[in-house]
Structure 1
Amino acid sequence: MFSEKQTTVVQSISEDAIEEAELSFQFTKEEHSLSWWDAMRLHYPAIGWGLFMNLATILKGMDGGIVRSIVGLPVFKETYGYNHNGNYIIAAEWLSAFNYANNIGAIIGALCSGIAYDRFGPRWMTAGCCVLSIAFIFIQFFSHTPAQLFAGQLINGCIIAFYPICASAYVGEVTPLVLRGFAATMTNLAFSIGSLIASGILKGTETMDSRWSYKIPIATQWALPCIMLLLVAFCPDPPYWLCRKGRHEDAMASLRRLATPGVDVTKKLAHIRETLRLEKNYDGERPTYLDCFRGTNFRRLVICVMAYDMQAFTGNVFFLSYAVHFMELAGLDASDAFSMNIGLTALGLLGTCISWFLLSYVGRRSMYLFGCSVLAIVLFIIGIVDLVPRQTSTTWAQCGLMLVCTFVYDLSLGPFCYVLLAEVSSAKLRGLTIALSTVTCFVWSVVFAVVIPYAMNEDQGNWRGKIGFLFSGLSVLCTIYCFFCLPETKGRTFEELDILFERKVPSRKFKNSKVDIDVGGRRLE
């Protein structure tokens, strides 16, 4: 039985695997004893390549930032909207379509990405996506009707969905334990950087009285795929993926490239092989999407799905995707709304950077509890403020609270989500699990992208800030889920997590469980 005190979980290893098991155990002890700065000094090449893989994720952030913000440009409204009581507005159906096109495409892309990652690996997968991104951005750039722009966003959304999934899986596999959380947050940082770049570009073109005000932001998306395409051939493949393919010598070569010359990588290779051996014993031979729904992998899938879906449930579609539109509905003019949007994305970037320092001291579960509960309170206040008669002070108060939501989100759920995805998913099914989790999040994002304009728009539901009540209630439910069902994965190697999940340790007991290895009746200490 489990108590509130430390619980010991013992994993038995057969005699035929004794040598590799002992090397793996030695590696685990060294991983736990490695300090942050020593890990950075010895493994900075892994961090560097992880940052490189996330360059393409910046494009995902840029695309999302441009799509959700160009709808506030006056020339864009005149081109794709209609005159309503003397003002040009985007019809609610097209406003929602422009925001969910990217996510619908991403659902298809995410489903394909898990299979593509397992079959082709991150290098070929990234190279192919870069070529396709360059091609499909043309459709958006030369569009003249809402339908053409929608098609371009839909197809491009399918392609760029590969990038964050590939980056999350890659950094989780190449970085040492103490740096894993820091490296995993790079994905959210890339989103924030992309959004900030998009906000800055749009603020610069907002005053242009021509179609170039929205065509220039779209054109800037060509830069990153071109840079990635030139350099991706030099990127080392992740050793877990290589070992799954039986390419152990290539995995050793990759491990050497991902560490400094003084690091002995033989123990890590043994640890990777031992982790995959355990997963093979538990789960069978060939990884498929169906494997994610079997045995302990289903529990891991549900945790990953909820970790990702809570981003949508706590309102990120509202205070990120519809920020400019909401601020204009609240009473700000276009110029002030775009200025506030720059502040919003800058705060998101700041929150992600602060989260780096929290990762070494605060658990993943604790930060999710903090993020969900605080967002529930702030979103409720946004709804309350909207009940007050509209004044200049209430307008700025609501917009300021949107900034608070963004900061809290990018301090907690935003970056910590990608850490959990990398840690909770099994090594063998990592790409597939992250892909399925991404699909469910995009499905909910599409739902909210459709609902929010009809709820907020003055020619429809005219809820405006009262929609904060909806997301506040959902955030409360997310807080309850985190308390009972979200495990603490901080400080755990992939092998230890495999054992904890296989032994069905309750989520609330993960933090206080100790894992020991028994080899042929001999306890490794």
Structure 2
Amino acid sequence: MARFRGGILVQALPADRSDEAELSFQFTKEEHAQGWREAMVLYWPAIGWGLFMNLATVLKGIDGGVVRSLVGLPIFKEKYGYERNGEYLIAAQWLSAFNYANLLGAIVGALLSGVAYERFGPRVMIAVCCVCSIAFIFIQFFSRTPAQLFVGELVNGCIIAFYPICASAYVAEVTPLALRGFAATMTNLGFSIGSLVASGILKGTESMASYWSYKIPIATQWVLPAVVLALVGFCPDPPYWLCRRTPDDTAAAISSLRRLAASNVDVTKKLAHIRETLRLEESLSQSNHRPSYLDCLRGADLRRLVICVMAYDMQAWTGNVFFISYAVHFMELAGLDSSDAFSMNLGLTALGLAGTCISWTLLPRVGRRTMYLIGCSALAVLQFAIGAVDVSSRSGSGTWAQCGLMVACTFVYDLSLGPFCYVLLAEVSSVRLRGLTIALATVTCFVWSIVFTVVIPYAMNADQGNWRGKIGFLFSGLSFLCAVYCYWCLPETRGRTFGELDVLFERKVPSRKFEDYKVGIDVGGRRLEE
């Protein structure tokens, strides 16, 4: 049982676990003392495999980037739209449907992914998804009507939802403490790279006066699943998952740990730490059955789930659907021609990628909670400015100002909420329920993304609400509320091992107080502290 001792939380363990508990404690001390460079030298294979696992998330970025920007292509509008006052438009219902199709499918995929990760592991899960992706892209490529394209997006969205959930859980389980934040941001990096690739391809094809202007971008989605499928069989399974699957057989976990570290690393301490963390979580949950979604709704795991849900949902509430998914459409409504809109979108995605890369320098220095506060506050100001410019000016300079502010929003988002969200998902969720917790958080984010994807075209379009840039006021207010939540309810997880976080959550330490406590262990009456 854990108990408070001033600013220290002490976790009491039975004496019969003294050997493994001491090895685990030694490993924890070494993790805290380890710098970024040292960790990179010792655990570069883990980073390499984490990068590979995130390669599949690039496909999600490409898929989303292609579909949300295809609607701006003149040939696409002629094929799937209708003529109004001498120009072709995509009907509002199809405009929103093309954007929420993959999100709607992703809700089903996300719910299945948590169970699939726990039961089959990441290698089998990714291999099956790659085969399905290759098959479902055919539906998009050969679609002739809006309904067919919608179905292709829907079923492929179900599959690609597996990739980021699997990647986030995998990276959290294979990387050391010093590299965990950096590696977790690779999921957002994958999205950014995918969006940049999609924007570049679309910029290159938008001048084509044939159906290839939108078929080529769709066809590029076949490349990554084929590459990942060819190599995923060589990927080591995560040791935490192996120890959960077969607690009494450590041979596979030891083999995996050795493949994930340099040859001179002694893996016995980390194995002891993994086993102790899993034992601690079992004792706290008082459950020895296969994890299920219901377990996420009990005790401390419910609080962890709520934090993960809020961390993910704030991506939608702060307007990422507005300034990323509808960027090209908004810029055209603001007054830019098709070519300039696609050029701005290319710059937008490039700056988003730069923001993710810059966030790596902030991860070891700035807390997760601090970056969320900064990001939400900055987005509130920027999106208020978009609305204010729309109210005050409809001139050419006002148009470019609004588009520039959209680009700034993307940069701030990919510097803060974008990458730091996946770090929080990896750190806040318990080891035992990680895949399931991330899956549920993903589902809620997709639900809100669908809501905004449906609402935004009706609010912005000239033939509907005609809000144009004034929709920035809505997301400015929501971003402010998110900043308030972050101040009161978001914990700081930087520099904590999974075992330490288990104790902090189990003892119901207030979110704003996480940094004020150290965690020690008591083995059979003998106190061990850093």
Return the TM-score normalized by structure 1: 0.99
2:497 corresponds in structure 1 to 493
Contact persistence 1:180–1:419 (CA under 8 A)? yes
Of the three residues 346, 351, 357, the one matched with 2:350 is 346
Residue 464 of structure 1 aligns with an amino acid whose one-letter code is R
> 1:395-440 CA deviation, whole Å, 9 max, x = no partner?
0000000000000000000000000000000001000000000000
Contact persistence 1:6–1:514 (CA under 8 A)? no
What's the secondary structure of 2:527's corresponding residue?
A: strand
Residue 290 of structure 1 aligns with an amino acid whose one-letter code is L
- In structure 1, what is the Cα distance between the partners aligned to 2:368 and 2:250? 32
- In structure 1, what is the Cα distance between the partners aligned to 2:267 and 2:322? 46
* 1:504 is the counterpart of 2:489: no
* 1:449 is the counterpart of 2:453: yes
* 1:87 is the counterpart of 2:87: yes
What's the secondary structure of 2:311's corresponding residue?
A: helix
- In structure 1, what is the Cα distance between the partners aligned to 2:394 and 2:473? 18
- In structure 2, what is the Cα distance between the partners aligned to 1:446 and 1:154? 12
- In structure 2, what is the Cα distance between the partners aligned to 1:100 and 1:44? 38
* 1:76 is the counterpart of 2:52: no
2:276 corresponds in structure 1 to 274
- In structure 1, what is the Cα distance between the partners aligned to 2:375 and 2:278? 34
Of the three residues 255, 278, 281, the one matched with 1:253 is 255
Residue 258 of structure 2 aligns with an amino acid whose one-letter code is R
* 1:516 is the counterpart of 2:514: no
What's the secondary structure of 2:509's corresponding residue?
A: coil
Q: How many residue pairs align between the two structures?
A: 521
What's the secondary structure of 2:88's corresponding residue?
A: strand
What's the secondary structure of 2:365's corresponding residue?
A: coil
> 1:160-218 CA deviation, whole Å, 9 max, x = no partner?
00000000000000000000000000000000000000000000000000000000000
1:160-171 alignment, distance < 5 Å: 160-171=160-171
- In structure 2, what is the Cα distance between the partners aligned to 1:179 and 1:6? 30
1:346-425 alignment, distance < 5 Å: 346-425=350-429
> 1:207-249 CA deviation, whole Å, 9 max, x = no partner?
0000000000000000000000000000000000000011421
What's the secondary structure of 1:517's corresponding residue?
A: strand
- In structure 2, what is the Cα distance between the partners aligned to 1:20 and 1:367? 36
- In structure 1, what is the Cα distance between the partners aligned to 2:502 and 2:250? 21
2:67 corresponds in structure 1 to 67
1:138 corresponds in structure 2 to 138
1:199-278 alignment, distance < 5 Å: 199-246=199-246, 247-278=249-280
1:314-353 alignment, distance < 5 Å: 314-353=318-357
What's the secondary structure of 1:510's corresponding residue?
A: helix
1:31 corresponds in structure 2 to 31
* 1:438 is the counterpart of 2:439: no
Residue 33 of structure 1 aligns with an amino acid whose one-letter code is A
- In structure 2, what is the Cα distance between the partners aligned to 1:6 and 1:294? 28
Q: CA deviation at 1:20?
A: 1.0
Q: CA deviation at 1:122?
A: 0.2
Change (3 A) 1:6 1:358: farther
Residue 68 of structure 1 aligns with an amino acid whose one-letter code is R
Q: CA deviation at 1:6?
A: 7.7
> 1:338-364 CA deviation, whole Å, 9 max, x = no partner?
000000000000000000000010000
Q: CA deviation at 1:512?
A: 1.4
Q: CA deviation at 1:499?
A: 0.6
- In structure 1, what is the Cα distance between the partners aligned to 2:467 and 2:191? 29
Contact persistence 1:326–1:464 (CA under 8 A)? yes
1:290 corresponds in structure 2 to 294
Residue 282 of structure 1 aligns with an amino acid whose one-letter code is L
Divergent runs of 4+, >6 A: none
Q: CA deviation at 1:8?
A: 1.0
- In structure 1, what is the Cα distance between the partners aligned to 2:364 and 2:243? 29
1:147 corresponds in structure 2 to 147
1:303-318 alignment, distance < 5 Å: 303-318=307-322
1:7 corresponds in structure 2 to 7
Percent of residue pairs identical: 77
- In structure 2, what is the Cα distance between the partners aligned to 1:65 and 1:237? 30
1:180 corresponds in structure 2 to 180
- In structure 2, what is the Cα distance between the partners aligned to 1:387 and 1:6? 55
> 1:44-72 CA deviation, whole Å, 9 max, x = no partner?
00000000000000000000000100000
- In structure 2, what is the Cα distance between the partners aligned to 1:318 and 1:16? 56
Contact persistence 1:304–1:421 (CA under 8 A)? yes
Contact persistence 1:9–1:516 (CA under 8 A)? yes
What's the secondary structure of 2:100's corresponding residue?
A: helix
Q: CA deviation at 1:389?
A: 3.2
Residue 510 of structure 1 aligns with an amino acid whose one-letter code is F
Of the three residues 445, 457, 463, the one matched with 1:459 is 463
